[in-house]
Amino acid sequence: MQNLLLSALALSAAADAYGAGAAGWDAAYSRAQAALLKLNQTEKVGIATGVGWQGGPCVGNTYAPSSIDYPSLCLQDSPLGIRYANPVTAFPAGINAGATWDRSLLYARGAAMGEEAKGLGIHVQLGPAAGPLGKNPDGGRNWEGFSVDPYLSGVGMEETIQGMQDSGVQACAKHWLGNEQEHNRETMSSNIGDRATHELYLWPFMNAVKANVASVMCSYNKLNGTWACESDAVLNELLKDELGFPGYVMSDWNAQHTGVNSALAGLDMTMPGSDFNKPPGSIFWGPNLVEAVANGSVPQSRLDDMATRILAAWYLLGQDQGYPKVTFSSWNGGKATVDVTADHASVVRTVARDSIVLLKNQEHALPLRKPKSLAIIGQDAIVNPKGPNACVDRGCNTGTLAMGWGSGTSEFPYLVAPLDAIKVQAQKDGTKIVESTTDSTTAAASAAAAAETAVVFINADAGEGYITVEGNAGDRNNLDPWHNGNELVKSVAAANKNVIVVVHSVGPIILETILAQPSVKAIVWAGLPGQESGNALVDVIYGSTSPSGKLPYTIAKQPSDYGAGWNSALVDNFAEDLFIDYRHFDKNGIAPRYEFGYGLSYTNFNYSGLAVSVSATAGPSNGPIVPGGAEELFKSVGTISVIVQNTGEIAGAEVAQLYLGLPESAPSTPPKQLRGFQKLNLQPGEQGTATFELTRRDLSYWDVQIQKWVVPSGTFTVYVGASSRDIRGEGKFTVT
Ligand SMILES: OC[C@H]1O[C@@H](O[C@H]2[C@H](O)[C@@H](O)[C@H](O[C@H]3[C@H](O)[C@@H](O)[C@H](O)O[C@@H]3CO)O[C@@H]2CO)[C@H](O)[C@@H](O)[C@@H]1O
């Protein structure tokens, strides 16, 4: 792991030397423009057009021109590893990476995924994801992204993209924009207010563009009535003009609806380029785009711009210099001729371990201390007896859950089951293991009755809407554990007085039934941990590492408390406006069960010495547009710091969090919003300083009248603490 972090830093230095910043784009554009001069019309269109689903080795492939030394581009999922190839590493899902709240781990995970992509000859890895953001707690693909909070999601995007691109692969930030549910995703309109668009859904993409992301994938849905991949307002105005995005926009697979309009709106690449899921012959570009330019429907300059953007991204990443050839095919089992997995299992285990959120720990039930006997209960404790990859795109929920389903998946090289990892530890401790690895309540009760402590495994799955699992068409039907998980826990709790519940889930589940059982002493959220699932869990429940994950979303007492959820209408008016997740709970005075940012440790942390040093002028941010937005937005306006001390007797890590409340001159703003965090590893008695650097963007709201980010005048409230509700220090600063 240490080696990986060091090599990641070396890669970062190399990328800086190459100049992958704004200057890097300038150099890349010069080279792209020179290459463009050598291409004929068909070749220019060809590098912007997919060859068709299954027309090449990757899920997306473009035509290779013969006039320049440029390949058929290979585009491959996913945000958590490489889809349809093996051997590859199955990393923890985005939601776990977000739950670490650890910038260096987010970067290391991105760098390791990028290394694997490059090693396999993949030019463009289709991730990371910030859309869906997760406003609907039951949204099917929320787990592919990092958090429902735009700030945390933005940091996840930025670090992951930097890691991936420092390894040499082009990243693709997706899905732009407003694709918050799976039901009707290809027909519905997300009608989002301008302010919520900016302050919530667009925010993490600003970080992505700022990190020089090579490509962006536009989404299936309509935005305010126009298809996202056909909307001038969404592609040209928001993404390319306002955020200054220099790279290229590709369509989601089949998200293009017209040839000319999409080209004029700013789409640069169509995927997968055939009549995938459409009537035969519905190919919008290819020869049709050549014709559209010839007859003047699409200006020559627009086609040149598409090709230049695509070429520039390739040069930006240095992919013209000895890039590996594609060494696998998605369509024949994905067997690669090289093994790219290196020591990435250690990244997986570290991310999985440090993302575990300890929700409840009564009577010091955890960590386990050499119990005499342990009952391990639930089908989620074992690997699917048919193998971890038995269902295509992980489209079933049998055995332990370690990723959701859909295109955002990879093949498992192996999957360490919780039961197997616990058995290894039990052997060392002389603990007798009693197993009940079905979800039968009767068998569970008898196993639980035969042991000193019982660990029950439950889960909740979700995924992409082209697969329906146990009646869930992508989005979840409810926020309950699957397979009668509440009943399973109840039967165990009736038979054993010392019960630990482990949850593998794609997002929040309602825990009230479980919490109502007095025998449930501890609850552990392990999310979607990837291939090292059991090992990471053992690290935490046996205490070799203190839990340090924090919730990347709120866990409510009842589903209606969220005030949001997927709906079956063809229009979603995003009535939540700015008030999603904790912003909604705070505004409406709703008590969450476990709030955003919450997570227990085996040790304790004391906060002191809050220091506020912020100096900013009120008003809009201007300046030239750089990748990410107006340059002034990213200027530092000062720092806030706090001292955190580990007051317990064991080592641990704490995520100190900064929330800001804007002055009243900013209309109708959420009471507090995350604007900084830092994870500190602290030995017993040790203290460290968490420093939050603020930029103008962090102080701003989007002014819909003047169409700019504005720093409001007045007094800002500073909240620093261990979660969004566990505030340990308050301060103020004033902007005039
Ligand atoms: O993979 C690239 C992007 O694809 C989108 O998802 C598509 C997914 O990759 C593809 O496997 C799936 O195909 C299924 C098809 O939709 C269905 O009709 C057919 O019966 O089965 C096919 C699977 O064998 O289609 C998905 C789109 O509907 C993702 O949205 C995007 O994130 C990916 O990067």
Please state the φ and ψ torsions of residue 208, each to the nearest 5 degrees. -65, -45
CA 642 remoteness from chain centre? 28
Residue 122 Cα, ligand 1 centroid: separation in angstroms? 18
- Ligand 1: atom nearest CA of 127 is 34
Residue type, 72: S
Half-sphere exposure of 29 (CA within 13 A, CB side): 14
**Average pLDDT score over residue span 612-630:** 97
pLDDT of residue 9: 38
Which residues are CB-neighbours of 468 under 8 A, at least 6 positions away? 474
Q: Please name which of 542, 653, 550 lies closest in space to residue 603, comparing C-alpha atoms.
A: 653
pLDDT digits (tens, 9 = 90+) for 490-503: 999 999 999 999 99
CA angle, 321 as apex, 319 and 323 as ends, to 5°? 60
Pick the residue whose CA is nearest to atom 12 on ligand 1: 466
Token output for 307: 């090709």
Sign (positive or negative) of CA dihedral 391, 396, 398, 400: positive
Sign (positive or negative) of CA dihedral 180, 202, 111, 688: negative
pLDDT digits (tens, 9 = 90+) for 369-424: 999 999 999 999 999 999 999 999 999 999 999 999 999 999 999 999 999 999 99
Residue 531 Cα, ligand 1 centroid: separation in angstroms? 23
Residue 732 has pLDDT above 90, yes or no: yes
- Ligand 1: atom nearest CA of 144 is 32
Q: How many CB atoms lie within 10 A of CB 98?
A: 30
Residue 404 Cα, ligand 1 centroid: separation in angstroms? 14
Pick the residue whose CA is nearest to atom 6 on ligand 1: 407
Pick the residue whose CA is nearest to atom 27 on ligand 1: 253
**E strands, 58-135, in order:** 60-61, 74-76, 124-125
Residue 274 has pLDDT above 90, yes or no: no
**Average pLDDT score over residue span 133-160:** 98
pLDDT-derived band at 22, boundaries 50, 70, 90? low
**Average pLDDT score over residue span 209-238:** 98
Question: Which of 245-249, 333-337, 659-663 has the weakest average pLDDT?
Answer: 333-337
Sign (positive or negative) of CA dihedral 115, 628, 675, 189: negative
Token output for 535: 């090992």
Residue 563 has pLDDT above 80, yes or no: yes
Q: Measured between alpha carbons, how far is 110 from 561 in angstroms, rounded to an integer? A: 34
pLDDT of residue 279: 66
Residue 3 has pLDDT above 50, yes or no: no
**Average pLDDT score over residue span 442-451:** 98
Catalytic residues: 252
pLDDT of residue 13: 36
Mutation test residue for ligand 1: of 170, 175, 180, 466, the one with most atoms within 8 Å of CB: 466
Which residues are CB-neighbours of 326 under 8 A, at least 6 positions away? 57, 58, 74, 120, 121, 122
Pick the residue whose CA is nearest to atom 15 on ligand 1: 466
Cis peptide before 132 (omega within 30 of 0): yes
pLDDT digits (tens, 9 = 90+) for 55-114: 999 999 999 999 999 999 999 999 999 999 999 999 999 999 999 999 999 999 999 999
Residue 159 Cα, ligand 1 centroid: separation in angstroms? 27
Please state the φ and ψ torsions of residue 716, each to the nearest 5 degrees. -90, 145
SS3 659: strand
Q: Please name which of 293, 315, 295 lies closest in space to residue 304, comparing C-alpha atoms.
A: 293
Helix (H) or strand (E) holding 636: strand 636-646
Residue 276 Cα, ligand 1 centroid: separation in angstroms? 9
Q: How many CB atoms lie within 10 A of CB 615?
A: 10
Which residues are CB-neighbours of 181 under 8 A, at least 6 positions away? 132, 136, 139, 140, 188, 474, 475, 566, 567, 572
DSSP letter string, 173-212: EEEETT---STTTTT-EE---HHHIIIIIIHHHHHHHHTT
Residue 592 Cα, ligand 1 centroid: separation in angstroms? 36
Instruction: Tell me if the pTM is above 0.90.
Output: yes
Residue 6 has pLDDT above 80, yes or no: no
Token output for 237: 């105005």
- Ligand 1: atom nearest CA of 78 is 34
- Ligand 1: atom nearest CA of 465 is 28
Pick the residue whose CA is nearest to atom 25 on ligand 1: 466
pLDDT digits (tens, 9 = 90+) for 307-358: 999 999 999 999 999 999 999 999 999 999 999 999 999 999 999 999 999 9
Does residue 436 contact residue 377 with C-beta atoms inside 8 Å?
Answer: yes
**Sheet order of strands, 226-227 included:** 226-227, 222-223, 189-190, 571-572
CA angle, 276 as apex, 273 and 281 as ends, to 5°? 75
**Residues listed for the chain:** 736
Residue type, 97: A
Token output for 176: 């732009």
Mutation test residue for ligand 1: of 124, 271, 407, 410, the one with most atoms within 8 Å of CB: 407
Pick the residue whose CA is nearest to atom 33 on ligand 1: 407
For the chain, give percent helix, strand, coil, nearest 5. Answer: 30, 20, 45
Residue 471 Cα, ligand 1 centroid: separation in angstroms? 19
* Pairing outcome for strands 453-460 and 499-505: parallel
- Ligand 1: atom nearest CA of 172 is 34
pLDDT mean across residues, the chain: 96
pLDDT of residue 21: 53
Mutation test residue for ligand 1: of 182, 219, 250, 252, the one with most atoms within 8 Å of CB: 252
Q: What is the number of helices (H) and of strands (E) in the chain?
A: 19, 28
Q: Please name which of 628, 657, 653, 712 lies closest in space to residue 212, comparing C-alpha atoms.
A: 628
Radius of gyration of the chain (CA): 25
ipTM rounded to 2 decimals: 0.96
- Ligand 1: atom nearest CA of 83 is 1
Q: Which residues line ligand 1 (CB under 6 A)?
A: 59, 77, 126, 174, 252-253, 277, 407, 466
Position of tokens 């667009």?
202
**Average pLDDT score over residue span 273-293:** 83
Pick the residue whose CA is nearest to atom 16 on ligand 1: 466
Q: Measured between alpha carbons, how far is 376 from 727 in angstroms, rounded to an integer? A: 37
What is the end-to-end Cα distance of the chain in Å, rounded? Answer: 47
Pick the residue whose CA is nearest to atom 20 on ligand 1: 466
pLDDT-derived band at 553, boundaries 50, 70, 90? very high
SS (H, E, C) 258-312: CCHHHHHHCCCEECCCCCCCCCCCCCCCCHHHHHHHHCCCCCHHHHHHHHHHHHH
Which residues are CB-neighbours of 16 under 8 A, at least 6 positions away? none
Residue 11 has pLDDT above 70, yes or no: no
SS3 436: strand
Residue 475 Cα, ligand 1 centroid: separation in angstroms? 15
Q: How many CB atoms lie within 10 A of CB 300?
A: 12
Does residue 350 contact residue 531 with C-beta atoms inside 8 Å?
Answer: no
pLDDT of residue 283: 84
